[in-house]
Amino acid sequence: MGKARTDNGRMIDDAFRREAVRILATSGRTIKAVADDLGIGTSSLSKWKCQLDRAELMAGPQEDVQKELVRLRRENELLRVARDLLKKATFVLLPVLAVILVVSAIKVWQHQ
């Protein structure tokens, strides 16, 4: 993000931006209230928050993310196989179940 100068000549650096976002996150106050206290615009504070959130997300442990992605893809494939197997089993077992129901109904009808 670098350094920038405000309209009144004050320098705003990355440390100030991070501190402003930290105050916003921990104070429980609105963006407007924090921005007014710090003498900055609400849009600036919102933009800094989005930029820092994005930077934190991308700076995460990439190796762990890759391992988790591989694990989830493997799990997805196993679930797809299980789903397809259950679909096929349903079509195979439906005629058998239909015959069993018909035979049972005939036996019940004969005993009446």
Residue-wise pLDDT for 42-94, tens only, equals 999 999 999 988 887 777 666 777 888 888 999 999 999 999 988 888 888 88
The CA distances from residue 35 to 40, 41, 81, 112, in Å, are 5, 6, 53, 84
State residue 21's pLDDT score.
93
Q: Which of 7, 26, 38 is nearest to 17 (CA)?
A: 38
- Same-domain pairing of 14 and 55: yes
What residue ranges in the chain does DSSP mark as E strands?
A: 4-5, 11-12
- Same-domain pairing of 2 and 52: yes
Rg (alpha carbons) of the chain, rounded to whole number: 31
Query: Of 59, 75, 93, which one is at a domain's C-terminal end?
Result: 59
In 10 A of CB 105, how many CB atoms? 10
**Taking the complete model, does pTM exceed 0.75, yes or no?**
no
- Same-domain pairing of 51 and 3: yes
How does pLDDT run across 87-109, given as a tens digit for each residue?
A: 888 888 888 888 888 888 888 88
How many folded domains does the chain comprise?
A: 2
Structural domain span for residue 31:
1-59
